[in-house]
Structure 1
């Protein structure tokens, strides 16, 4: 059986209360909050975090041989973004990594390509949604990523759900568009989108159910997603499937994460599903796409983990605008950062992207950065590769630097002592400078340090270890 063997979502730490927008710009107060990618996150780094959550639950043999990254906001246009994720995940060089970029529907393409692959394959769905200040896109959007791993399944990595059928309706109509270089999308009138989407969605779902030999009454969990919110709500209410079987869209908690919503809500559906349940996924984007899934008896063995439901302190609206490039803030009076050079970045890719250290086979000491000579015993050429991306550690010491270059001052620099050996100096992210203390537990996260001359400098930072709900 080939099917889903793991599915996880990544929700960024920061939240923006919608009331903060209306307070700043005026207008009625709107409830709820939206998730916000940090200044050092983008679609690629969030996809890596979602994939890391998946890979830590499966053995090496189940690691993907194909990687499909779907997003509407690729950090690079004339370069494959999926190769950065491939390198950060330390996948085999023979594994294919490709982008599926453009509209939200690219997420359905990545999902279907991974589902139909003859070998282990992963769909990475990631998006950062924004709009002009005060717009519905800004208010109702959200940032998130999801990773769905498909494979043949075995005793160690059982199939949790199989794709029973799929159907699609494609139509060319103008309801949402964004030209290259534009900061935000433009949207046609909601009633026009509703007029087109609703019949397309109903026909697509009916076709998928017919292929699976099911009726609407046989669906245990319904996921309806897409950016045209009015159309989505009408479709969810008009399928004939009871309302208590509709998976909540999480709009009040994280907003609508566009391309990632399909994977995020699938993870939510798998968390609540029981053995033998039927899940219907319906995406409204440039037409309609439907998938019918059926869970196996193994669903209880590896349910998706619940992503952090709450963030830290509420993000200030001017900070959000600054992170989105809508509000220019004077940078520190320091020399502009320089982009990493291609040759040394390539030579050190195992360290730079996969955070691989070296360990002395003679004395057991770990060296970060990797070294050829052991700093402890002086042995030469006795070092072996030692992965550190999953390592946990504690803050040995730290400093709050208000002069160093950072898009979000002040910079928190920490020295981390890793469990099992190794010491490393790096930045601390997703943290309040006033709350940092020696001895705090931390873990590593893949981030974008800076962008210079169009080159994104990806590396690793430490972040506080938090439990569900956001507590440290």
Structure 2
């Protein structure tokens, strides 16, 4: 068992670039949609791909974890480990176990707790939390929900940026929210019924966490409350806010992101906190869980070294889409598919043989002449050397657009399909799709970065994952209309 401080050694967040204006929801349905926006996963994103996007910055510059846990209430697969796909895309060693925590939003805090326990036992572990919140058209879930992912790496030693000093939980069985397998949207009991129950459970969990930490509420500097029951979140936040600053739950800009939300709130707090601050994160869902962390002097150094955008920056990258497109991506508005043959089903044997390329985006570099090849090959195209190659991962590199075209005839759920040749800063050229982009705004020479996406899903339920390019974040207008 480790005697060093246990806590957060890395973290990351992924907020999809797309937003739906709540007023557009209300306008389309003849009702009040409320104010602000909600984050929307792109047509080529799911909980697995978003988890990869959050995991990449969490691992940047860190030693490889000894374990991976992936939590989501909206898994892309059942009877198949979604964490294994995240594992492959993050290029983790084969010896690193990967497990799913799935079924309910509370699994997010469960994954964080499991990762912390593993780190305390000497096994640094990455917890990846991801969720896509979908409600029926016109529902409160549709309006108030949001999509996103977060990742928190737990470890020990001098690299800890926030030490875990207290935990508490309170569980109870009561009917608040449920969704049977196969349904796309949750059902919710009348909100007033669960509001008081959640308040009592949350305060019990908070008191237990503070007792574990040897603190009182007056010692807290920042408090964040996550949960899908919006009234209960408000009541608990108000109760705790008398003693600490409130961490914005991002309800007005992003929405309630379910499983991912406790990690997003923690990341938001760590983006702004000074060393020595005490942070409380609470999650409501079939009970309540609370964690208390204290930031360390290493936090400032960690933030200075980061190259990935923080939570506030990612909110600023948001781009608006129409409500009809949102419904199409969610499958509620059935539209004619492109009049082209359906794409081929990805076959299991070649996918397995080429997993380092398909999931990890690892090419090869010739050790004789330095030429990089994508995908990896045995014979160098430049010097013809045979089997003189080293594997090299491209996923974290930026590139530039050498040339591109927008194709209105190719198969895609969000036409046009933008195909491009990308030249990478480290050498090599890749032909790939560009996503999260406006074809009219692209230019040759624009910077891009790679992002893990779901290309399509076949009729028998096979998801085809690979990497696409997207405009480098910060290089697009913040509120440009899609």
Whether TM-score is above 0.5 comes out as: yes
Cα distance in 1 for partners of 2:215, 2:45 equals: 42
Match of 1:182 in 2: 183
8 A Cα contact 1:428 1:463, kept in partner? yes
Match of 1:94 in 2: 95
- Greater Cα shift, 23-32 or 339-348: 23-32
Q: Deviations over 1:338-397 (max 9, x none)?
A: 221111000000000000001111111111121111111222111211111112111111
Q: Deviations over 1:104-141 (max 9, x none)?
A: 11011100000111211011010001100011100111
SS in 1 for 2:316: coil
Cα distance in 1 for partners of 2:445, 2:164 equals: 46
- After the TM superposition, which residues 36-435 of structure 1 pair with which residues of structure 2 at under 5 Å, given as runs? 36-56=40-60, 58-59=61-62, 62-117=63-118, 118=121, 119-154=123-158, 158-239=159-240, 241-242=242-243, 245-303=245-303, 305-307=309-311, 308-435=314-441
Q: Deviations over 1:144-182 (max 9, x none)?
A: 10000011234xxx1111111111111111100000111
Alpha carbons of structure 1 residues 313 and 7: separation in structure 2 relative to 1, 3 Å: closer
SS in 1 for 2:94: coil
SS in 1 for 2:19: strand
Cα distance in 2 for partners of 1:123, 1:194 equals: 29
SS in 2 for 1:112: helix
SS in 2 for 1:73: coil
8 A Cα contact 1:47 1:125, kept in partner? yes
The TM-score with structure 2 as length reference comes to 0.94
Query: By how many angstroms is 1:219 displaced?
Result: 0.6
Query: By how many angstroms is 1:240 displaced?
Result: 6.1
8 A Cα contact 2:49 2:452, kept in partner? yes
8 A Cα contact 1:127 1:145, kept in partner? yes
Cα distance in 1 for partners of 2:157, 2:21 equals: 42
Cα distance in 2 for partners of 1:139, 1:310 equals: 20
8 A Cα contact 2:12 2:56, kept in partner? no
SS in 1 for 2:235: helix
Cα distance in 1 for partners of 2:430, 2:205 equals: 53
1:5 is aligned to 2:12 = no
SS in 1 for 2:387: coil
Cα distance in 1 for partners of 2:162, 2:300 equals: 11
Q: Deviations over 1:28-82 (max 9, x none)?
A: 25210011110000001001001101122x24xx221110000000000000000
1:449 is aligned to 2:450 = no
Cα distance in 2 for partners of 1:469, 1:120 equals: 36
8 A Cα contact 2:273 2:295, kept in partner? yes
The TM-score with structure 1 as length reference comes to 0.96
Q: Which runs of 4+ in 1 moved over 6 A?
A: none
SS in 2 for 1:126: strand
Cα distance in 2 for partners of 1:400, 1:240 equals: 50
What residue ranges of structure 1 are gaps of 5+ in the alignment? none
Equivalent residues, number? 465
Alpha carbons of structure 1 residues 297 and 15: separation in structure 2 relative to 1, 3 Å: same
What residue ranges of structure 2 are gaps of 5+ in the alignment? none
8 A Cα contact 1:306 1:468, kept in partner? no
Alpha carbons of structure 1 residues 240 and 142: separation in structure 2 relative to 1, 3 Å: closer
8 A Cα contact 1:216 1:240, kept in partner? no
Cα distance in 2 for partners of 1:285, 1:416 equals: 44
SS in 1 for 2:315: coil
8 A Cα contact 1:401 1:412, kept in partner? yes
8 A Cα contact 2:162 2:299, kept in partner? yes
SS in 2 for 1:309: helix
Cα distance in 2 for partners of 1:126, 1:50 equals: 9
Query: By how many angstroms is 1:195 displaced?
Result: 2.3
Alpha carbons of structure 1 residues 183 and 456: separation in structure 2 relative to 1, 3 Å: same
